[in-house]
Amino acid sequence: MDTLLAQKTVTSLRKAGITFVSYLPETRLSEMLPALRQDGSFILAPVASEAEAVGITAGAALAGKGAAVYMEGTGLFVSSYNLLTVGERYGIPMLLLVAYVGSFEDQRNSFLFSHYGIKTKGLLGTLGIQYRILDSDEDLDARVQDAVRMMHALKQPVALLFTGEFTR
């Protein structure tokens, strides 16, 4: 992800009302972290595990924050139990910002990630998590706002899967 695209993404998150982001750094979207820090509008919580990130983000959402989790696609598999038991069962709105590793459009795809990528949509479906795939910054503000509106309407986690130009 280039710096300009990272800044546009962070601006879209702020405009959509996201104020809290827990994260486990990864490679595809890593330029978002400096942009989030520089923006100053976000409370950031680094974590050691995506499962931990879901729990911490749930707490922030219950405290009234517009809450998001930033993770690599493999983190969906790691956090699936927490997403189901905390996010889905208790109705916690949170935005999942997921680097869609292993997708067809993943510009850094390899044998390490392709097996996860082809299972990601199925996992989200099994968990009952609605998602959108973002492969370009076209209508980025509207697409992020739509996802945030949906997470609040459903009172559930909603995922944005970043691929394509986001993974360069």
CATH code: domain of residue 99: 3.40.50.970
Read out DSSP for 56-91? HHHHHHHTT--EEEEEEHHHHHHHHHHIIIIIITTT
Tell me the residue range of the domain where 140 lies.
Answer: 3-167
Q: What is the pLDDT of residue 154?
A: 97
Give CA–CA dist 41/68, Å, rounded.
Answer: 13
Task: Give me 21's structure tokens.
Answer: 């982001």
Q: What is the pLDDT of residue 25?
A: 87
Q: What is the pLDDT of residue 136?
A: 97
Q: Please name the residue that has the structure tokens 């909603």.
A: 158
Q: What is the pLDDT of residue 95?
A: 98
Write out residues in the chain with pLDDT < 50, as ranges. Answer: none
Number of domains composing the chain:
1
Q: What is the pLDDT of residue 36?
A: 97
Q: What is the pLDDT of residue 112?
A: 81
Report in angstroms the alpha-carbon separations of 159 from 25, 38, 40.
Answer: 17, 24, 24
Give CA–CA dist 93/82, Å, rounded.
Answer: 13
